Protein backbone atom coordinates (compact mmCIF):
# COMPACT_ATOMS: atom_id res chain seq x y z
CA UNK A 1 0.00 0.00 0.00
CA UNK A 2 1.20 3.41 -0.86
CA UNK A 3 1.39 6.25 1.64
CA UNK A 4 -1.28 8.22 -0.25
CA UNK A 5 -3.74 5.35 0.02
CA UNK A 6 -3.12 5.03 3.78
CA UNK A 7 -3.64 8.75 4.33
CA UNK A 8 -6.81 8.67 2.22
CA UNK A 9 -8.15 5.69 4.19
CA UNK A 10 -7.36 7.39 7.50
CA UNK A 11 -9.10 10.61 6.41
CA UNK A 12 -12.20 8.68 5.28
CA UNK A 13 -12.30 6.71 8.56
CA UNK A 14 -12.07 9.86 10.69
CA UNK A 15 -14.67 11.64 8.56
CA UNK A 16 -17.12 8.73 8.87
CA UNK A 17 -16.57 8.59 12.64
CA UNK A 18 -17.28 12.32 13.02
CA UNK A 19 -20.36 12.16 10.78
CA UNK A 20 -21.86 9.12 12.54
CA UNK A 21 -21.12 10.51 16.01
CA UNK A 22 -22.76 13.80 15.07
CA UNK A 23 -25.78 12.01 13.65
CA UNK A 24 -26.28 9.89 16.79
CA UNK A 25 -25.78 12.92 19.07
CA UNK A 26 -28.31 14.92 17.05
CA UNK A 27 -30.90 12.13 17.09
CA UNK A 28 -30.54 11.71 20.86
CA UNK A 29 -30.99 15.45 21.43
CA UNK A 30 -34.08 15.62 19.22
CA UNK A 31 -35.60 12.66 21.07
CA UNK A 32 -34.88 14.18 24.50
CA UNK A 33 -36.30 17.58 23.53
CA UNK A 34 -39.50 16.10 22.15
CA UNK A 35 -39.87 13.77 25.16
CA UNK A 36 -39.35 16.63 27.61
CA UNK A 37 -41.90 18.78 25.76
CA UNK A 38 -44.61 16.12 26.03
CA UNK A 39 -43.94 14.64 29.49
CA UNK A 40 -43.84 16.28 32.90
CA UNK A 41 -40.73 14.54 34.16
CA UNK A 42 -37.74 15.50 32.01
CA UNK A 43 -35.04 12.99 31.15
CA UNK A 44 -31.34 13.50 30.51
CA UNK A 45 -29.54 12.41 27.38
CA UNK A 46 -26.63 10.95 29.32
CA UNK A 47 -25.91 10.62 33.01
CA UNK A 48 -22.93 9.12 34.85
CA UNK A 49 -22.91 8.88 38.65
CA UNK A 50 -20.13 7.41 40.76
CA UNK A 51 -20.86 6.52 44.38
CA UNK A 52 -18.47 4.63 46.66
CA UNK A 53 -18.00 1.34 44.79
CA UNK A 54 -20.91 1.64 42.36
CA UNK A 55 -21.16 3.31 38.95
CA UNK A 56 -24.56 4.20 37.48
CA UNK A 57 -24.59 4.90 33.73
CA UNK A 58 -27.87 6.12 32.22
CA UNK A 59 -28.74 6.76 28.56
CA UNK A 60 -32.28 8.04 28.06
CA UNK A 61 -34.50 5.50 29.92
CA UNK A 62 -31.92 2.72 30.18
CA UNK A 63 -29.76 2.33 33.28
CA UNK A 64 -26.70 0.16 33.89
CA UNK A 65 -25.14 -0.30 37.32
CA UNK A 66 -21.66 -1.66 37.91
CA UNK A 67 -19.86 -2.56 41.11
CA UNK A 68 -16.22 -1.58 41.23
CA UNK A 69 -13.98 -3.42 43.61
CA UNK A 70 -10.46 -2.05 43.80
CA UNK A 71 -7.50 -3.59 45.54
CA UNK A 72 -6.45 -1.76 48.69
CA UNK A 73 -3.23 -0.56 47.02
CA UNK A 74 -5.14 1.23 44.24
CA UNK A 75 -7.88 2.72 46.41
CA UNK A 76 -5.40 5.00 48.18
CA UNK A 77 -4.02 6.30 44.87
CA UNK A 78 -7.50 6.85 43.44
CA UNK A 79 -8.70 8.71 46.51
CA UNK A 80 -5.57 10.89 46.39
CA UNK A 81 -6.03 11.69 42.68
CA UNK A 82 -9.77 12.38 42.76
CA UNK A 83 -9.99 13.87 46.25
CA UNK A 84 -12.38 11.35 47.73
- What's residue 75's pLDDT? 59
pTM over 0.75: no
Query: With a cut of 50, which residues of the chain have pLDDT below it?
Result: none
User: Structural domain boundaries of the chain?
Assistant: 1-40, 44-84
- Residue 26 near residue 32 (C-beta atoms within 8 A): no
- What's residue 61's pLDDT? 84
Q: CA 14, CA 83: separation in Å to the nearest integer?
A: 36
Cα torsion at 8, 12, 15, 16 (round to 10°)? Answer: -170
pLDDT tens, position by position, 40-54: 988 888 888 887 778
Amino acid sequence: MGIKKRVRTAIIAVSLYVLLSGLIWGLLNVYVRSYNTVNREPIKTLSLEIEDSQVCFQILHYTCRFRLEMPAQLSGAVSYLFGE
